[in-house]
Amino acid sequence: MEENNTITIYDVARVAGVSMATVSRVVNGVANVKETTRKRVLNVIEELDYRPNAIARGLASKRSTTIGIVLPSFTHSYYSRIIIGIDDVARMYNYNILIANSDGDPDKEMALIDDFAAKQVDGIIFMGDTMADSVRQRISRLRTPVILAGMIDPEEQVPAVTIDHRQATVEAVGILAKNHEKLALITGPLVNAINTERFDGFKEALEANHRAFSELQVIETKYSYKAGMKLVDRVLAMGATAAYVTDDEVAAGLLNGLLDSGVKVPEDFEIITSNNTIVTNYTRPNLTSIDQPLYDVGAVSMRFLTKLINKEEIDEKTAILPYRMAIKQSTRQ
Amino acid sequence: MEENNTITIYDVARVAGVSMATVSRVVNGVANVKETTRKRVLNVIEELDYRPNAIARGLASKRSTTIGIVLPSFTHSYYSRIIIGIDDVARMYNYNILIANSDGDPDKEMALIDDFAAKQVDGIIFMGDTMADSVRQRISRLRTPVILAGMIDPEEQVPAVTIDHRQATVEAVGILAKNHEKLALITGPLVNAINTERFDGFKEALEANHRAFSELQVIETKYSYKAGMKLVDRVLAMGATAAYVTDDEVAAGLLNGLLDSGVKVPEDFEIITSNNTIVTNYTRPNLTSIDQPLYDVGAVSMRFLTKLINKEEIDEKTAILPYRMAIKQSTRQ
DNA sequence: TTGTATGCGTTATCAG
DNA sequence: CTGATAACGCATACAA
């Protein structure tokens, strides 16, 4: 004898002696409900412990009060930090978060976007290194608003919140160029938009500082601590005495790899990394880094998304947030 | 002139010249559809780019193919690792993940559980340090299955997947007791179940190794790197020469704090930590740790949850996974 | 201020 | 093997 406990708006209506429409009104705080009946309904809701069914509500209203997040990794400190910003603002606006890991694979990204669309999310925050054409097309056909966090769309079609990575790279490399002839750029895949920006900034800074550039100075790598550790030989072999690294985990790996090989940092080798996440504090020496406002990137993205969802006017399609340099121990000053 | 693009099952039915019931059947792979009509319908679906509305489906079927995750922090390496395990299995079973941060606050935990229930999640994975009575009560009233990951319910009412923290602590402290008279336990709040287990293990190990115990050897702290760094003076003041730490971030902070104070690890001070997350590799020396199968904790939890959702038989309410010791550089061997 | 009726896009039951 | 049709639980336009 399965008892069906589900308490619906009809139950409340019946007990309160009103119509279900009235119950719906008080639940949604809609105007024009007499104070006495409002209270009566509220009491019954309390009494019956009624909870509106968000699914039914979503079907009727076409809004799910849920947003979707696509990201390339659950563990990477960069994205974790952004998520906190997203979460705080999402909570303020009463959105729940549907989250999914794409591994940075465009096919998975597309599948996840479709998935989210099917679940009727009100908006999507997309994170990654780049925006594949296939993904951009999918997004453009969506009626659901999408915003990029911590990256930009090179085609500038999709709204985005990020920092100026090219300029930040110029600044970071400029610091290293003071004390060094031969610099290395250690970056994620150059097919990715965010990294081509950095690549451009790297070259620009070398030129501005009258340093030679060759492709050999550029190392592409996966974003992981292990990958960073394995780079030591290559970096030393090319004769570099300083490196700009685009990822904190990789930088930590490179640093520890160098230390384990007896190279002193910053005396014999200087490192600047890019995200200033907590990882940069774990190492000794800790890592000088571009200081991106990652929390803000998340918070602004989410706030931005609420505007898109509500079809509010927006001034700029892309928000470029300011960054700083966090000078720590892996540079000599 | 708002064009309503939404393509429903009716559109497909009309174009394919069948009833919507038949379309529903082919979409859901239900038996008894003639092969020719199946193909015809499939073609139309492709042609119209029809996507089933998961919300409507959820309302009609009472299943959302979504699970909820409650956790105390987005950034903590411990939970991130568990999430990967959850995600992999969730993906296998085609579940999406609704995730929310409780900050470990029971009130928020309750609110989030209600939220998830309202969104009709098919199951909930709950993470934290402990299970407040209020939360347990809420859970017990839910018709939605809940499972605890990386923790247990002291009352053993809620199913759980974790390791034997008491026993692991006994082992870890036993290692430290070999070389040291005075040991410190650095733990999260002792009001939390997981930590009382460790506390018991700590005392047990001291006794077994004929070491004195006093409350002064126990330091309660927040789970953060900064909190760990600030502990140096207290730890040294109590005369401890070794510490068992229940959290990797805290252990990393303590280690770096000691190093910054000129204390040599492991020569002058030994440390064992508890989670063997990637953080233990970032430090130099890297950290000896209990090696919990965190990925498996997540994966098993999710698999377990699918069984509860499908009302399959389960042998044990609680799964205790095996752990190892990962001996690294913060102990002398 | 309140109630009635309809629709949201599916699933699922029951006939045929 | 297929088609009607009734839920699912709520929001909302329209009446009253």
What is the mean predicted confidence (pLDDT) over A157-184? 96
**Token pair of A10, please?**
């009809």
Q: What is the CA radius of gyration of chain B?
A: 25
Give the closest of B52, B54, B282 to A252, CB-based: B282
Average pLDDT over all residues of chain A:
95
Question: How distant is the Cα of A45 from the closest Cα of chain B, in angstroms?
Answer: 14
- Say whether pLDDT at B180 is over 90: yes
B248 neighbors B274 (Cβ within 8 angstroms): yes
The per-residue pLDDT for range A254-279, each reduced to its tens digit, is 999 999 999 999 999 999 999 999 99
Which residues does A56 contact at the CB level (< 8 Å), separation at least 6?
Answer: B59
Distance A62 CA to D15 C1' (A): 25
pLDDT band at residue A31 under the 50/70/90 scheme: confident
pLDDT band at residue A60 under the 50/70/90 scheme: very high
d(CA A289, CA A248): 8
- H/E stretch holding A36: helix A35-48
**Token pair of B307, please?**
């069984």
Backbone region of residue A153 per phi and psi (left: phi > 0; alpha: psi in -120 to 50; beta: other values): beta
B72-88 burial: b if 16+ Cβ within 10 Å, else e: bbbbbbbbbbbbbbbbe
Amino acid at B269: F
Q: What is residue B120's predicted lDDT score, i.e. its pLDDT?
A: 96
Q: Do residue A278 and residue B64 have CB atoms under 8 angstroms apart? A: no
Q: What is residue A4's predicted lDDT score, i.e. its pLDDT?
A: 54
The CATH code that applies to domain B165-292 is 3.40.50.2300
* Contacting residues of A for B52, CB less than 8 Å apart: 118
Give A215: exposed, middle or buried? Use CB within 10 Å, 0-12, 13-18, 19+. Answer: exposed
Q: Do residue B80 and residue A80 have CB atoms under 8 angstroms apart? A: yes
Amino acid at B164: D
| Interface contact A204, partner B, CB < 8 A | no
- Say whether pLDDT at A2 is over 60: no
What is the mean predicted confidence (pLDDT) over B253-267? 97
The listed CATH number (3.40.50.300, 3.30.200.20, 3.30.565.10, 3.40.50.2300) that belongs to domain B63-163+294-322: 3.40.50.2300
Matching residue, tokens 């780079």: A231
Rounded alpha-carbon distances, angstroms, from residue B243 to A109, A279, B192, B276: 45, 23, 20, 16
- Say whether pLDDT at B4 is over 80: no
- Say whether pLDDT at B209 is over 60: yes
- Say whether pLDDT at B1 is over 60: no
Pick B66 or A3 by higher pLDDT: B66
Strand blocks (E) in chain A: 66-71, 96-101, 123-126, 146-149, 160-163, 183-187, 218-220, 242-245, 270-273, 288-291, 318-321, 324-326
Q: What is residue B30's predicted lDDT score, i.e. its pLDDT?
A: 82
pLDDT band at residue A32 under the 50/70/90 scheme: confident
Q: Do residue A118 and residue B54 have CB atoms under 8 angstroms apart? A: yes
Beta strand B218-220 pairing with B242-245: unpaired
Beta strand B324-326 pairing with B288-291: antiparallel
Strand blocks (E) in chain B: 66-71, 96-101, 123-126, 146-149, 160-163, 183-187, 218-220, 242-245, 270-273, 288-291, 318-321, 324-326
Per cent of chain B over pLDDT 90 is 92
What is the mean predicted confidence (pLDDT) over A31-38? 89
Mutate to test the interface with B, among A28, A278, A280 (most CBs of B within 10 A): A278
**Token pair of B86, please?**
């959850």
Give B200: exposed, middle or buried? Use CB within 10 Å, 0-12, 13-18, 19+. Answer: middle
**Token pair of B236, please?**
């040294």
The per-residue pLDDT for range A69-112, each reduced to its tens digit, is 999 999 999 999 999 999 999 999 999 999 999 999 999 999 99
- Say whether pLDDT at A1 is over 60: no
| Interface contact A252, partner B, CB < 8 A | yes
- Say whether pLDDT at A333 is over 80: no
**Token pair of B237, please?**
């003041």
| Interface contact B32, partner A, CB < 8 A | no
**Token pair of A251, please?**
């930088």
- Say whether pLDDT at B159 is over 50: yes
- How would CATH label the architecture of A9-52? Orthogonal Bundle (1.10)
What is the mean predicted confidence (pLDDT) over A309-325? 92
- Say whether pLDDT at B2 is over 60: no
d(CA B95, CA B59): 16
- The structural domains of chain A, with segments of one domain joined by +, span 9-52, 63-163+294-322, 165-292
Which residues does B181 contact at the CB level (< 8 Å), separation at least 6?
Answer: B211, B241
Helix-strand-coil split of chain B, %, nearest 5? 45, 15, 40
The per-residue pLDDT for range B124-154, each reduced to its tens digit, is 999 998 899 999 999 999 999 999 999 989 8
Which residues does B12 contact at the CB level (< 8 Å), separation at least 6?
Answer: B20, B23, B41, B44, B45, B48, B50
Domains B63-163+294-322 and B165-292 share a fold: yes
* Contacting residues of A for B99, CB less than 8 Å apart: 97-99
